[in-house]
Amino acid sequence: MRALLPTAALAGAALVLTAASPSGRAAAETMSFFITSVGSGDGANLGGLAGADRHCHTLAEAAGVRGKAWRAYLSAAARDGQPAVHARDRIGAGPWHNAKGELIAKDLEQLHSEASLAGKATSLNEKGEPVNGRGDSPNMHDILTGSNPDGTLAVDTLDTTCGNWTSNAATGRAMVGHHDRTGGGARPTSWNSAHPSRGCGQANLVSTGGNGLFYCFAK
């Protein structure tokens, strides 16, 4: 009986620790925001908004987060009789948390303001891992959005959405944000609207400090 006491005591201590601290699984299940750990592999050709949404869903499911409606944070231009799409209108009302259960923003107003908690330390991928930023090798801080700082479609005389996320050509371009909120461009500290890419192909995106990654939000 004496030999069993230490084991029982250890088991009891383990139960106390488990009850006292939230599990990684529980935190992951609250996840409603992440950066894709991988892109399409075909530059900014994501298969349109529908293809990007599927990619978000597939990655979330693989990470063990099921039963949520995921939307890619991407804007798209009016085309073929369809109206323009604004990224902010696709993602619900919030709040949003990362894979560690940390708050990113309580609502759309905070998300698109300087009070947003998005940044390198909190803008994690679906596995709860940090994404390379400026100063890391390779730098992958350019995140595809096609959006203005307020989450509406970025409009220019040139393309800002790589043909509504169907192009992998060297021509065209996409508006990108800096998930680490540092770097170059007109708005280097913007998580969603820092500068345009140099093109839409995978090599083009990599050359400006990206890898074809994008944000995913659960509605």
What total of structural domains would you count in the chain?
A: 1
* Span 105-152, pLDDT tens digits: 999 999 999 999 999 999 999 999 999 999 999 999 999 999 999 999
Nearest to 35 by CA among 95, 104, 90: 104
pLDDT at 171 over 50: yes
Beta strands 96-97 and 175-178, pairing class: unpaired
Provide the 10 A C-beta neighbour count for residue 112. Answer: 22
Comparison of pLDDT for 24 and 184, the residue scoring more: 184
Percent of the chain clearing pLDDT 70 (strictly above): 87
* Span 179-218, pLDDT tens digits: 999 999 999 999 999 999 999 999 999 999 999 999 999 9
CATH number, domain at 37? 3.10.100.10
Considering the domain boundaries, does residue 147 fall inside one?
Answer: yes
Q: How far is CA 219 from CA 31, 93, 95, 209, in A?
A: 11, 7, 9, 29
Structure tokens belonging to residue 114: 């300087």
Domain enclosing residue 192, as ranges? 24-218
pLDDT at 58 over 70: yes
pLDDT grade, residue 157 (50/70/90)?
A: confident
Are 165 and 45 within 8 A, CB to CB? yes
Exposure on the CB side of residue 215, measured as CA atoms within 13 A? 38
pLDDT grade, residue 25 (50/70/90)?
A: low
Which residue(s) pair with 105 in the sheet?
A: 96
pLDDT of residue 28: 67
Considering the domain boundaries, does residue 19 fall inside one?
Answer: no
pLDDT of residue 7: 38
Residues whose CB falls within 8 Å of the CB of residue 30, separated by 6 or more in sequence, listed in order: 97, 101
For 155-182, b where at least 16 C-beta lie within 10 A, e where not — what string? eeeebbbbbbbbbbbeebbbbbbbbbbe
Comparison of pLDDT for 122 and 156, the residue scoring more: 122
Beta strands 96-97 and 195-196, pairing class: unpaired
Which residue(s) pair with 147 in the sheet?
A: 153
Considering the domain boundaries, does residue 42 fall inside one?
Answer: yes
Mean pLDDT of the chain: 90
* Span 81-101, pLDDT tens digits: 999 999 999 999 999 999 999
pLDDT of residue 29: 77
Quote the CA–CA distance of 18 and 2 in Å, as a whole number.
25
Q: Determine the average pLDDT of the residues in 40-58.
A: 98
Chain mean position to CA 18: 30
Are 200 and 171 within 8 A, CB to CB? yes
pLDDT at 14 over 50: no
Considering the domain boundaries, does residue 28 fall inside one?
Answer: yes
pLDDT at 178 over 60: yes
Structure tokens belonging to residue 56: 């978000």
Considering the domain boundaries, does residue 141 fall inside one?
Answer: yes
Provide the 10 A C-beta neighbour count for residue 113. Answer: 12
Considering the domain boundaries, does residue 15 fall inside one?
Answer: no
Considering the domain boundaries, does residue 13 fall inside one?
Answer: no
Considering the domain boundaries, does residue 198 fall inside one?
Answer: yes
Quote the CA–CA distance of 175 and 74 in Å, as a whole number.
10
